[in-house]
Structure 1
Amino acid sequence: MAQGRLEHANISVTDPDRSAALLAELLGWKERWRGTSQLGGRSVHVGAEHDYIALYTGDQVKGDYRKGQPLNHIAFTVGDLDAAEAVVEGHGLKPFGHDDYDPGRRFYFFDWDGIEFEVVSYE
């Protein structure tokens, strides 16, 4: 049986352009698509060749999410954790929860809408 992989995640954010800029700089991703959503509102897709995050907004999106309702966090791997942390701070966000245990080093941050992200380096 072929091994599966995550193709995309679709999350609601208050400002998809701002979120896309953060993820593009943090992860070296590119914008793949933008336009009107089937549900109304609009989306920006940012990612790599075979995977991406769809960033959706519409009139009903208010932000102010709480951890665990229903999402705990989204995690990304990077080659240079210190450079990634500088990018997060450069966007006015505050890294926390720094830890170093097998299999890698990591930190967390909340975006402007309260969505938690984990950034991990295995190098």
Structure 2
Amino acid sequence: MTAKLEHTNLTVSDPDATAAWMGDVFGWKIRWSGPAIDEGYSVHVGGPGDYLALYRPRSAPHAGESSYGLIGGLNHLGVIVDDLDAAEARVKAAGFTPHNYADYKPGRRFYFRDADGIEFELVQYDD
């Protein structure tokens, strides 16, 4: 049996704004939006076979500390891109600051945090 990740659900402060920058940076499309669990609101953004569910609860969410010390914490999301330099330019245009650059076998990468403090790793693999 082979399994494939279909989606991940993240709590964010503004699902529409997060989906907008993801569209600009990653080229993802909104697949669905509407009411969600516990009177919240969600936007599903991604491609035809996988996506991120961006959830906002009824009450305003609050930011936490680094998740690296929490059991069950989300440490970062990795996204493969075809052109890391072009992706970096789009990340900067969206107002985010790239950091922690590295070249390694089999590719190159950098990280950035979005407005909610969620860390993303962008990676371009060598063929």
TM-score normalized by structure 1?
Answer: 0.92
Return the offset for 1:64: 4.7
Residue-pair matches, total: 122
How do 1:13-92 and structure 2 match up within 5 A?
13-58=12-57, 59-68=59-68, 69=70, 70-92=73-95
**Partner amino acid, structure 1, of 2:117:** G
Computed over aligned residues only, the root mean square deviation of the Cα atoms, in angstroms, reads 1.3
| 1:26–1:56 Cα change, 3 Å | same
Q: Specify every segment of 5 or more residues in structure 1 that has no aligned partner in the other structure, as ranges.
A: none
Moved over 3 A (4+): none
Return the offset for 1:45: 0.3
Give SS of 2:38's match.
coil
TM-score normalized by structure 2?
Answer: 0.89
Moved more, 15-24 or 112-121: 15-24
**Partner amino acid, structure 1, of 2:121:** E
Q: Specify every segment of 5 or more residues in structure 2 that has no aligned partner in the other structure, as ranges.
A: none
Paired residues of 2:13 and 2:60 also in contact (CA < 8 A)? no
Amino-acid identity (%): 49
Return the offset for 1:29: 1.2
Return the offset for 1:71: 1.0
- Higher relative CO (Cα under 8 Å, sequence separation at least 6) belongs to 1
Paired residues of 1:78 and 1:84 also in contact (CA < 8 A)? yes
